[in-house]
A and B are shown apart, each in its own frame.
Chain A
């Protein structure tokens, strides 16, 4: 990265308070593919001069997969420790690229004492565009491309965010096409509920393959995602049908960063 990403600790040492905390998430920190999404988000924030910081080593799993797997102890341990850190830094506003972190921070932390305004990165980017802070000079690089958005369950059905990512895609000079199962009817990629971390139960098909068939039917050339786990599942799904040269799987943040030439 050609700029420094400040940590909350750095900022505090300088007696500064960022306006927003960028919660990177475990996938965003460690998964090679997801790290690219993280960098795209950071570039957008930096470019728009958003006063942000990350937690760095002080960030820890929100506990989402533990809670979905039925281990409430591990979830609450994580939640209470994170809340201690977040409240310690007096965090008010959080943006994250992971809908699972988003859901947990937004809906499940308040009961345990963590109250923050939590945004999904697509929501924040939309605000930046609306405020004129982000201009998509090179939107035409996607001219004529068919892009479909795969709704992450934890962003869509779980939190009713359907429009922000679509509005961003429409800002590109591209054609937004919908899969037959979209928005409230969107089909899961297969990773939620801690499935990401285990083999699927016995069946006759993988869920991401079923979902990839929806993509093929939509004739989209780009699958836009808003979740690092959906990204992994869809990338694997596209590979599974040998279409990786024709169909790209990109996070909405990556599309926007490309269009803004960041």
Chain B
């Protein structure tokens, strides 16, 4: 009956297993069937023919097919029952006879054991090969992982639950100034690289964002902290921390970071430039607009405003280049800084416009400050430019006054100052430029005087209107003012390079630019521009022909050429006038207007020589 049940159970289990592939329940059933089968066998055969030797087959099967614990329980139950069975039946047993059946049982059980051992060995061998394969794959994976880690530009390190380093890549070592991974492995990374804040104050581990985040199993991202190198220097970092979770438990964290020092510096620079003027270091308009509200308080009354504008900046830029213009601005700004007190706001709100906000300063106090600024500025020279400023002052004395209105008032004062002083400023500036030219090149002063004198006589001889003669005289005196931009070395040379000739040929243009900036000389600027044009069109700067060239320019051209030869130091005194007349005669009709040349030759030949 038990055997029939064993067949039925084993058969059902086999069918079930082959249909479902569910190993574990079938394994339990199979071991149960094996044990039942053996028990029924011993019930029948008892002790006879060494049949009990088949008991030894249960443990190998149980251990092989079941989990270790389950196998032990099954074996224990089975052997417990068998012990009971043997003890309870032993008194009835007589000595077993050794016969063919006994031999069959002993050999069968031994053979079965041998097969099981072989099977075990084969299985162990397969597992060993598989394990070796897995180890090789793991080594490959580890090498790949190491390669990926080390080739990453981002620094990466791992920590365990206590915050000790478990690995780090090459970028990490390089950024932190270490040469070997062993110098970090096993060390507490917070104490090693994250112990202090940017300002050097201690950064307790319990406050550390990495530590806090991974304790909670969360990730963290920060870009406002620093890490510390081995040499004790720090650098700004952007880091991300990710918790490492194994079987549901937090076992550590992986931290990736980058050195963002350069990025921070650029951000700081951009931030600075968005609030401060790069040229002067003063506040720019944006910064001024933000700060003026803070200074516009009752406590700061009276609040004075100085609106200032640097004169002649455009001329400086046009004539002497933007480097000179920048120098002018920088020097004026330095004076503003020098005179103003801590707490005053100085801002460059336009190209040449400045605003000074002076808290707790009366109008009289502001006027004193302005006076000091003007006197210091007057001593500044850039190239041939004497620095000067136009400025207006206004004071807010009542909280109900709008600062905008006060600033507008100061602005109007500045424009009024500019307008009132325009004429004298113009005259002074022109005198400064001419004076500078003549100081630099004394020969040019004499040449200007000679040309002016000759032009006056020639203009009269040509019967020009008095007004034109006056213009002619003025233009003749200023005709070479554009040479102020030329380098002294060029002016002292006798032979010029091509570049130098090109530079010299620009002096009419610079003369035109300078003179067109002043009201008094605006109408003669055009004559200066054309005084190197030639009658035959081979002159410069425009190559005008014949009467396209203004009459005054033509007269200046003849007189200027005559004066230069007639007063040259290279010829003996008695040869100069004939040489000059010869030069003008030779150039008549080509370089010079023939009529004007003839008039000059006649004039030069008269008793009162040029």
A, B: real partners: no
